[in-house]
Amino acid sequence: MAKYKIILADDHVLIRQGLKKLIEENVDLEVTGEAGDGLELLDLLENIRPDLIILDISMPHLRGIEVINEVKKLCPGVKILMITMHKSEQHFLCAMSAGADGYLLKEDSDSELLNAIDVVMQNEMYISPHLAEEFSDEVIKAYREKGVFPCETLTNREIEVLKLVAEGLTSKEIAEILSISIRTVEHHRANLLKKLNLKNTADLIKHAIQNGFINTTE
């Protein structure tokens, strides 16, 4: 039987090393590539066709959730297991809505990683034990099918504006960076407030931090 090929995508080298060590305990699994961010992952997929990608949600340059759609385009049959420290309902549902096949908390990885891989590779949905009791498969499927979760309604440009707002830039500075008019930036900001049901810039910054649109650990 051929080994399952796995790519690890996490911006922390020590995390990747720990996951790789756990994976190598199973002779049927093989780590064939590693990436430190979403862009590196997409580059890897030009030459490697893995069976599974273990993907961190919060990475620089291109977030895990943002990269899922691109990964599925390049490798339609690949399974994606999200691994994260985030326990919030919003992170979880956002990842599953985007197309992830499993959601593993890092605190559960030592004891659950191999089981999570096995479940996902059997075409079943894996949820970390700390979250499994809170969400049913029916709830997750409903979000996937309806596509109504807030993070899924943002355009790429709106996400760019949100990130820059969260970094403290003014509308004028954002306009210069994105080569668009200040009026267009203000329009995007207004749309963000409306779509996310927020009241002001402070709320936008808080939302961006809580949902991993900016990396506060760098």
Architecture of domain 4-146: 3-Layer(aba) Sandwich (3.40)
DSSP 111-173: HHHHHHHHHHHTT--EE-HHHHTT--HHHHHHHHHH---GGGG--HHHHHHHHHHHTT--HHH
Quick: pLDDT tens for 88-130.
Answer: 777 787 788 778 899 999 999 999 999 999 999 999 889 888 7
User: Environment class of residue 82 by beta-carbon count within 10 Å: exposed (0-12), middle (13-18) or buried (19+)?
Assistant: buried
Average pLDDT score, the chain: 84
pLDDT of 218 reads 44
All CATH 3.40.50.2300 domain ranges of the chain, comma separated, are 4-146
Place of tokens 């949902």: 211
Estimate the share of the chain in helix, then strand, then coil, as percent rounded to the nearest 5: 55, 15, 35
Fold of 154-210: Arc Repressor Mutant, subunit A (1.10.10)
User: Per residue in 27-53, pLDDT tens?
Assistant: 999 999 999 988 899 999 999 999 999
Is the model's pLDDT at 150 over the cut of 80? no
Residue range(s) occupied by CATH 1.10.10.10 in the chain: 154-210
Sorting pLDDT into bands at 50, 70 and 90, what band is 148? very low
Beta bridge partners of 81: 54, 102
User: What is the tens place of the pLDDT at every residue in 174-197?
Assistant: 999 999 999 999 999 998 888 777
110 SS3 class: helix
Q: What is the pTM of this model?
A: 0.66
Which residues contact residue 83 at a Cβ distance below 8 angstroms, ignoring those fewer than 6 apart?
A: 10, 19, 54, 55, 56, 57, 104, 105, 106, 109
- Residue by residue, DSSP assigns 187-212 as HHHHHHHHHTT--SHHHHHHHHHHTT
